[in-house]
Chains A and B, each alone.
Chain A
């Protein structure tokens, strides 16, 4: 496809004795939201690091389209209380030429009130919004988020996800994110990759939650719970409509892990 912004091709990552990623193919298209789900230790963060160019894969290629800017929203930042740093200064540190007024940027993520607050006093949700604002300063074509709702209460979580979809629509930028909870992210994602070292299954959220590999990975309960949710949400999940590959590449790794929650 010629609209691909980011293309991961046959990525393998082996660190020491451990295989973290196995034959990962991933394509991210313009204005598309792709969510990676998987249990603890499935390699979700490693995959993001490879995509960001922070980790060199053992084999395989990472291709970025020309003139692409990536905005990165890390899982969390730890600010030592001894470090005097306000929100305004934090935004000013972004390495970029274009500087939209910070007030506007913070308003875009719904956090204009924190502009003069010291970083170490922010709540989990405020910090996530701030990190998003920092990523947006650079007018990214791709937004990469690592567990964007960690440490945020359930209400705040769905707000953050709708913020992400809104940013996608308004800025027309692609989103690649990691989530431990498919339930909340379903309505705001186009495509889901279920990861457990290799890609167990992929496709639209509806396809993935009904996939046996997904049920195996996250436990029957989670799957049925989600299936209900999907059922309420939409009665027409026609598999033929999904153009993406969702073939099942099941192998022994899928059975290793249970448990729905990620750290």
Chain B
């Protein structure tokens, strides 16, 4: 008989992999890895916010990620700093701010390592509702903007001249990515969110000839990474988040080694 907590972990992990596959594909195509890092690093500020406002912590994380996404979007229009400098400032700034804020709150004791690297074995039923509810919204939203988003990924101005709602689509995509990052936090932790976004997608690339195929393969590969990581974590008592990433990396290595048909 499978333990309850292990079952919850499995269901939660697979839920996250379902969302991470398609979003991760866009992160790879649009070179947004650093952007994803920046969003996830702000999560601790969200946790602090959650404690201050006494709201659900995932909601707090979502609010902060969303705010940061808007900030980053608006800052594209300034020309003072290059975008990677700006991302670096916001990424490490928010990470440090989160750590400082939490240290300052004396009566709050949190499992810091759990937030940094994920604690999938501690997933509660409420967490599952969040993962499947918010994840479902994120996936439906992405399906809705799928076609214009592909066009924008190829050439933004061309999409604009053809009359596609470029700004609206970009905004929506950023919002959905923030949502995705917020729910992925629990499973792999803020430092490894980007890994679970890009590794399955990168692994899927070699076997995909269409964007849709790549997204679906990324989901499948993500699921296998989660299962493999969980089993490793369960039997060898290794930290769950890093174990999932390690098993993802192994699959990636395997995909490079096996010859292409």
Chain A residues packing against B (C-beta within 8 Å)? 16, 49, 52-54, 70, 72, 74, 77, 79-80, 82-86, 89-90, 93-96, 118-119, 134, 138, 144
Contact = CB atoms under 8 A, between A and B. Distances in A.
Interface string B212-250: 011000000000000000000000000000000000000
Contact of A77 (B28, B150, B154): B154
A200 to B, nearest CB: 27
A93 B153 CA distance: 11
A74 B210 contact: no
Contacts of A89: 210-211
Interface in B180-204: 201-202
B213 A84 contact: yes
B163 interface: yes
A89 B147 CA distance: 11
What 5 A-B pairs come out closest when comparing CB atoms?
Answer: A72-B161, A95-B162, A83-B29, A77-B155, A84-B208
Given A82-B202, A84-B213, A89-B210, A95 B164 contact: yes
Contacts of A52: 157, 161
Nearest to A144: B161
Nearest to A15: B79
A79 B214 CA distance: 16
A93 B31 contact: no
Given A52-B161, A77-B154, A84 B147 contact: no
Contact of B154 (A16, A84, A85, A118): A85
B162 A82 contact: no
B151 interface: yes
A70 B158 CA distance: 11
Chain A interface helix/strand/loop/mixed: loop
A77 B29 CA distance: 13
Given A90-B154, A95-B151, A84 B161 contact: no
A70 B161 contact: yes
Given A83-B154, A83-B211, 5 more contacts: A74-B158, A82-B29, A82-B202, A89-B211, A90-B154
A71 to B, nearest CB: 8
Given A72-B157, A95-B151, A84 B210 contact: yes
Nearest to B150: A93
Interface residues of B, number: 28
B205 interface: yes
Contacts of A85: 150, 154, 210-211
A12 B163 CA distance: 25
B154 to A, nearest CB: 6
A179 to B, nearest CB: 19
16 contacts: A54-B157, A54-B161, A72-B158, A77-B154, A77-B155, A80-B31, A82-B201, A82-B202, A83-B211, A84-B210, A89-B210, A90-B154, A93-B147, A93-B150, A94-B162, A134-B158
A130 to B, nearest CB: 11
A237 to B, nearest CB: 36
B54 interface: no
Contacts of A119: 154
B30 to A, nearest CB: 8
A138 B154 contact: no
Nearest to B213: A84
A76 to B, nearest CB: 9
B100 to A, nearest CB: 36
A83 B155 contact: no
B157 A86 contact: no
A19 B29 CA distance: 35
A159 B143 CA distance: 41
A80 B211 CA distance: 12
Contacts of A90: 154
User: Counting chain B CB atoms within 10 Å of each CB, which of A77, A79, A85 scores highest?
Assistant: A85
Interface string B167-187: 000000000000000000000
A82 B151 contact: no
A84 B209 contact: yes
A74 B150 contact: no
B160 interface: yes
A80 B210 contact: no
A183 to B, nearest CB: 28
A74 B35 CA distance: 26
Given A84-B209, A84-B213, A84-B214, A138 B158 contact: no
